[in-house]
Structure 1
Amino acid sequence: MTIVNVCRSLRASSCRPLDRCYRFLPCLSDPARRSALGLKVALVMLHLIYVGMLFLFDGGLIEKTKREPWYTAIYLALFVATLVQYFVTSASSPGFVLDAMRTVNESNTIFRKALLASKQPASSKNGSVVVTVEGSQMARSLLGSNATSWTKLVMDLYPPGTSVRSLTCSYCNVEQPPRSKHCHDCDKCVLQFDHHCVWLGTCIGLGNHCKFWWYICEETSLCLWTGIMYITYLKANISSAWWKDAIVILLLVTLSISMIFLLLLLLFHR
């Protein structure tokens, strides 16, 4: 019993700093958001390591920066733009089916209420008495319809005779437009689903497809430029300290693998 009590007291004392941290940073209390934040920090650190090693080892680059500052300025501008585009893409919504359905139904509800609130005079008059009707027959027919606006909109996108049950998601219980798919990582249906990007921590769909394409282009350009600078350094300093060459070669190999992956993703991306 004494050992158990000691373990409990140690566990409670170790959890107190974490509880204080979670109180000031609520995002860290969620395991999913904590892992996504850790992934972003790791990716930023990788970028800083690759660029930092160049300026740390390559004295010729520093001299070139003094002579031609525009060269390094453009490279650093691309570096910052890539990181900014990464965070913008990861924070953007891919376009969820539930959000689109809610928007369509809410706009249609506002339209129906506007029709009901309007007063339209009837075409018949009995003497001096004018008969007015609250709303219109079209508004009443819309309100009396059992099918929602989203269902009608989705069914118009499919060929005639398509069953609603065949295009309803079994997880979200919502009608999916063409090219929509349920993402098991996000647990939501995504409009024009492309894939779930692990590095970004979000799905790629209708809402952020263009942002993702720009990020891939910028990341590929940055990797190519950095690889060329690493090769230039090795050509000029291959006979210097062996441990520097070993670190640069290791970084160049990993950079080449990442570059090949990015080029394939850029060439064969839908």
Structure 2
Amino acid sequence: MMDQISDRSRCLFPCLADSAQRSSLGLKASLVALHLVYAGILLLFDRDLIEKAKTVPWHTLLYLTLFGVTLIQYFITAGSSPGYVLNAISAINAADTLFGMAGASKYAASSKNGSVVVTVDSSQSGRSNSTSWSKVVMELYPPGTAIRAYTCGYCNIEQPPRAKHCHDCDKCVLQFDHHCVWLGTCIGKGNHCRFWWYICEETALCLWTVILYCLYLKTSITHTWWKDVIIIMLLITLCASLIFLLLLLLFHRCTFNHLFVIFSYPHFLLFYALYCQ
């Protein structure tokens, strides 16, 4: 009976069949639950805040808007692609194929017009030859760099600068930053901007919530002690989260992987300054 229920649920919800996806969904549900708990406890305990919402509704409306926008941005970022190297290779190959088809159609049109002399522009010929992925990647590295130095040992493909293999996703990511467990995806070239906006919104929401918690403690510190204990414990975790988010904002321009590469290989400093900003 239980096996039938399990099989039926897997058919209705294919995402639950994979343990990794189940873990990712669980983390996302936990993060949403944390947001609801922090806001809900404050609304439940602080009667003055409810009265203020009636007299000054725009204040509460702004907070709820920021709350909703932050969660929406979270799901948008979690569902976005970080930009995989394999996708870039496919795009390069598609561009190469289209260029070849355009060249073939142009040659056929010249033949129909009775053209005898066929001229080939050297710049176009070089462009056709340079659209392969290997040559594109080689041009991004300093001359003389060995191909094995930027070939992924897991995917066996050439990695452009700042790309790295993610062991959680088992794929090479362009401009790899880190694998975010809470988002369930990597942060890379494709979604770094979305991630930055999410961190900004989350920081603003966290800061606003900390202020509301402090105002509650200031006005109700002697009313009910067990409520104060709960608020203080939540406030401590909020402050720790706020410090972490502020550090992320400060270092969002120079990511964890970039710092490791720069300080491990000093000769990449000039290359990083010229090509990676």
TM range (shorter): 0.7 to 0.9
Map residues 152-171 of structure 1 onto 2, 5 A cutoff. Answer: 152-171=135-154
Post-superposition offset of 1:16: 2.5
Using the size of structure 2 for normalisation, the TM-score is: 0.83
Question: Could you say which residue in structure 1 is the equivalent of 2:229?
Answer: 246
Q: Which residue of 1 aligns with 2:79?
A: 91
1:53 equivalent in alignment to 2:41: yes
The one-letter code matched in structure 2 to 1:60 is: D
Residue 219 (str. 1) matches residue 202 (str. 2): yes
Higher relative contact order (CA 8 A, sep 6+): 2
Q: How does 1:150-229 map to 2 (within 5 A)?
A: 150-229=133-212
State the distance in 2 between where 1:189 and 1:133 align: 46
Contact 2:179/2:186, CA 8 A, preserved across alignment = yes
Which residue in the other structure is 1:7 paired with? none
| 1:148 to partner: Cα distance | 6.6
Contact 2:92 2:131 in 1 (8 A): no
Amino acid of the structure 1 residue aligned with 2:220: N
Structure 1 residue 15, shift from structure 2 partner: 2.7
Shift of 1:21: 1.4
Instruction: Note the C-alpha offset of 1:165.
Output: 2.3
| Residues in 1 aligned to 2:52 and 2:175: alpha-carbon distance in whole angstroms | 47
Q: Is the 8 A contact 2:200 2:249 kept in 1?
A: yes
Residue 31 (structure 1) shift? 0.8
Higher strand share: 1
Report deviation, 1:136: 6.4
> How far 1:95 sits from its partner (Å)?
0.5
1:259 aligns with 2:239: no
Provide the C-alpha distance between the structure 2 equivalents of 1:131 and 1:215, rounded to a whole number of angstroms: 59
Instruction: Give the match's secondary structure for 1:203.
Output: strand
- Contact kept, 8 Å, 1:116 with 1:134, in 2: the verdict is no
Which structure has the bigger radius of gyration? 1
1:263 is aligned with what amino acid? L
Give the letter aligned to residue 102 of structure 2. A
Show structure 1 runs of 5+ residues with no match: 1-12, 123-129
Which residue of 1 is the match for residue 11 of structure 2?
Answer: 23
User: Do the aligned residues in 2 keep the contact of 1:90 with 1:201 (CA within 8 Å)?
Assistant: yes
* Shift of residue 20, structure 1, vs aligned partner: 1.7
Coordinate RMSD, CA, aligned: 2.5
Supply the AA of the counterpart residue of 1:178: P
How far is the alpha carbon of 1:162 from its aligned partner? Answer: 2.0
81-90 or 258-267, which moves further after superposition?
258-267
1:179-201, Cα deviation, whole Å (9 max, x unpaired): 11111111111111111111111
Provide the C-alpha distance between the structure 2 equivalents of 1:17 and 1:121, rounded to a whole number of angstroms.
66
Flag structure 2 segments of 5+ consecutive residues without an equivalent: 255-277
Aligned to 2:271: none
Return the offset for 1:132.
5.2
Moved more, 112-121 or 245-254: 112-121
Distance 2:6 2:229 in 1: 39
- Equivalent position of 1:4 in the other structure: none
Q: How many residues align?
A: 250
- In structure 1, the partner of 2:68 is 80
Separation in 2 of the partners of 1:134 and 1:46? 69
Q: Do 2:210 and 2:238's aligned partners in 1 also have CA atoms closer than 8 Å? A: yes
- Provide the residue aligned with 1:70 in structure 2: 58
Q: Which runs of 4+ in 1 moved over 3 A?
A: 130-138
Checking the alignment, whether the CA contact within 8 Å between 1:22 and 1:29 is kept in structure 2 is yes
Offset at residue 133 of structure 1 (A): 8.2
Identity of aligned residues (%): 60
SS at match of 2:165: strand
User: How far does the alpha carbon of each residue in 1:39-83 deviate from its partner, in whole angstroms, 9 at most, with x for none?
Assistant: 100000000000011111100001101110000000011101110
Change (3 A) 1:133 1:97: farther
Aligned to 2:270: none
- Take 1:64 and 1:89, find their aligned partners in 2: how far apart are those partners? 33
